[in-house]
Amino acid sequence: MAHRWTLVAVASTQLAAQVAGHVVALRRRRTFDVPFMAGSPEHMVRDWLWFGTAYSTPPYLLGPQVWAIARLLRGPDVRARWVLRWLGTGLVLGYPSERWNRVRVRPGGVDPLETPIVAVGWSCATAMAVLARR
């Protein structure tokens, strides 16, 4: 029981980091920038719908996370844990692929607003992937 509540708390914190990251990315015009493609500041909303921003995933990944958290709030749910495990695993790999995330965790790139968002989101994604295992 306590394990489920820990998973819900971690997944909710990770979701909050995604929302905060989305707001910051929109205000600072931080588009996604991965090794094989990059977004355009003129098309932030369109790019967010398909690829996310520098600090947030696209809505089609946020939706399943909200669904899984809601299911776990009601009680134990194997599918919800499975969803959170795979989302967490994908995010653990996705955070370092994003250029702005790599910049913000380096010693010379620390930003008082962006670095905590990246650190909390990435660490919670890692915890989410681990805690959601059986």
pLDDT, one tens digit per residue, over 85-123 is 999 999 999 999 999 999 999 999 999 999 999 999 999
Look up the pTM and report it: 0.93
Q: How many domains does the chain have?
A: 1
**pLDDT reported for residue 2:** 66
Residue-number span of the structural domain to which 123 is assigned: 2-131
Residues in the chain: 134
pLDDT 10s digits, 39-51: 999 998 899 999 9
**pLDDT reported for residue 45:** 87
Query: pLDDT exceeding 70 applies to what percent of the chain?
Result: 99
CB under 8 Å to 63, separation ≥6 — which residues?
A: none
**pLDDT reported for residue 1:** 52
